[in-house]
Amino acid sequence: MSNNSVTTIVGPKRRRQWITLVVLAVLAILAITASISIGPVSIPFFQVWELLAKPPVQSDISSQIVWNIRLPRTLVGCLVGAGLAISGALLQGVMRNPLADPHIIGVSSGAGFAAVTAMIVIPNFPPSLVPMAAFTGAMASGILVYALAWRAGVSPMRMILSGVAVSALMNAGTSAVLNIYSENVQSVMSWLAGGLAGRGWHHWHQLWPYILIAGSIALLTGRQVNVLLLGDEMATGLGVRVERVRMMLIMLACILTAAAVSVSGLIGFVGLIVPHIIRLIAGSDYRFLLPASALGGATLLVLADIAARMVLDPIELPVGILTACLGAPFFLYLLRRRTTH
């Protein structure tokens, strides 16, 4: 072997990963542009960036639409998609289980239960505080699951099982509240289905600190997750403090999910499928998988939101339906192509 043969062997895979990242970044920018361009008032593709290049102009209706309605909505969509996808990727790695996602550890259902209870049961609950209630419910539920799974350490399997149990309980609570207070469920139903309708700058301000901080930390944990994938015993042998790292990663996943669903409502599928799509395209090295999932999640959610606005215009569909409709066929296509090789 020549001197640098190891680096050349790693090379092709590395190249594929970088290309994937660049392509995803370009796709994300295109999706963002499209999302700002498309709507009842159509704004030409290239004019979008012209309008964004200068501060909002009071007299220009296009500028107002772009700056005050479509840009914040799109950016919130990016953060929600990225947050859910990173969270899903982390959980799949930590649990060493391909079916793990933000819903399975009970975080989303905790958010749902808390939000529904706040909106319906508490009279005159200010709508602006719903995200706060959802976030609190999500974190409480995540911590509860972790505590229930604890027995001189948390095993991934126990964590998943207690997550499923707590989820079931929370969902039962949500159903109970919806049935008891069945007269004013309309607004709640649309929250539960998830969506970006009417999301604006104040949602962005609530969201970005969590996603940006927790997300950035998460992106630095790639090597740790890579080692955890070799099993607890091996990871310990390689000098990783398994229990502590696992707790940190689960906390990050909880924060990301809680922040995302508190603003957007329950959007399924992104956290589960996006990491798998990325894996099928360019492998499961977490140093790459985490940033790629973030870009992929943001892109998928923004595209789904465009479709949600367009398909039955002027009625908006819940974006969760569209993430599944767009993501699932693509995922199945990749899966089939992979297995026929």
Partner 1 sequence: MILAAKKITLSYESTIIVPELSLLIESGEIVTFIGPNGSGKSTILKALARYLKTRSGVVYLNGQDIQSMSTKRVAQQLAILPQTPHAPADLTVVELVSRGRTPHLNWWQRSGTNDYEVVRWALEQTKTSHLADRLVGTLSGGERQRAWIAMALAQSPQVLLLDEPTTYLDICHQLEVMELISRLNRELGLTVVMVLHDINQAARYSHRLIALKNGAIIRQGAPQEILTEELLTEVFKVKALVKTDSSSGCPVCLPYGIVE
- Binding stretches for partner 1 (CB under 8 A): 1, 4-7, 9-10, 13, 96, 220-221, 223-224, 226-227, 229-234, 236-241, 279, 283-285
Residue 68 or residue 236: which is nearer to partner 1 going by CB?
A: 236
Residue 202 or residue 223: which is nearer to partner 1 going by CB?
A: 223
Three-state DSSP state, 2:
coil
**How would DSSP label each residue in 127-149?**
GGGHHHHHHHHHHHHHHHHHHHH
In the complex, minimum distance from the CB of residue 285 to partner 1, in angstroms, rounded to a whole number: 7
Residue 234 or residue 328: which is nearer to partner 1 going by CB?
A: 234
Residue 17 or residue 323: which is nearer to partner 1 going by CB?
A: 17
Question: Distance (Å, rounded) from C-alpha 1 to C-alpha 216?
Answer: 38
Q: Cis ω on the peptide bond leading into residue 12 (within 30° of 0)?
A: no
**How would DSSP label each residue in 187-213?**
HHHHHHH---TT--HHHHHHHHHHHHH
Question: Distance (Å, rounded) from C-alpha 101 to C-alpha 107?
Answer: 10
Residue 173 or residue 283: which is nearer to partner 1 going by CB?
A: 283
- Nearest CA to 262 out of 85, 126, 110 is that of 110
Residue indicated by tokens 């940006």: 212
Residue 246 or residue 279: which is nearer to partner 1 going by CB?
A: 279
In the complex, minimum distance from the CB of residue 177 to partner 1, in angstroms, rounded to a whole number: 40
Residue indicated by tokens 């998928």: 300
Does the CA dihedral 145-149-151-153 come out positive or negative? negative
In the complex, minimum distance from the CB of residue 329 to partner 1, in angstroms, rounded to a whole number: 23
